[in-house]
Amino acid sequence: MPALATWAPEDGVLGAVAPLALATTQPTALVIDLDPNGPAYPSERSLRQLVDDGPRAADLTPSQRGVAVLANGGIGLEDARRLLDLLLHGWPAVVLRLPPQAPGDVPVPLVPVHLLLPGRLFPPQGRGVYQPLGRGDRRAPSLRAAGSLVMPPAPRRTIRALLDGSRPAASRWTAAWRRVWEAAW
């Protein structure tokens, strides 16, 4: 059961899209939003509802291939921890989306996801996944040497598909997210 947590403290859109992009690289995956103030991901039931009402057997394991998303519904990590353990053991791949103020005790490896902004005002923040805003950045080779992953530019159609809740077409950007699963976090 591979599982990773994404944390994008600087950018809400990147924070919403990164876990979806990471999940689409797996044949079957569940994205769980652990941010009580997170985006309005489309999901049949929310994490809060599963905690309050109890999960159904169908919630604990996938019924088909693809990416499923579990919106938060206004509940914190500590209140959802027992259910989270069940979901982590029942799904073949899980991506946890963390809030901007990441909880300290996340049960899976943490993947920091940062914008790679031009100029010196916002220097790289250590090891993680970096998304350049433009065509590239001259700091990319040094970030790679430090064990970070630098993503290629994200196609607008891919971002739009993820934000619309659909699986994006294959691109260099989506393929680059596969490397995140292979890295030691």
For residue 79, the model assigns a pLDDT of 96
For residue 166, the model assigns a pLDDT of 85
Average pLDDT rounded to a whole number, residues 71-99: 97
For residue 141, the model assigns a pLDDT of 64
Written as one string, the DSSP assignment of the chain is --EEEEE-SS-HHHHHHHHHHHHTTSSEEEEEE--TT------SS-HHHHHHH---HHHHS-SSSEEEEE---S--HHHHHHHHHHHHHHSS-EEEEPPSS--S--SS-EEEEEEE-SSSSS---SSSEEEESSS--TTHHHHHHTT-EEPPPPPHHHHHHHHHTSPPPP-HHHHHTHHHHHS--
Per residue in 134-162, pLDDT (tens digit) is 665 566 667 776 789 999 989 999 999 99
Query: What is the pTM for the complete model shown?
Result: 0.92
Per residue in 44-76, pLDDT (tens digit) is 999 999 999 999 999 999 989 999 999 999 999
Confidence of residue 124 (pLDDT cuts 50, 70, 90): confident
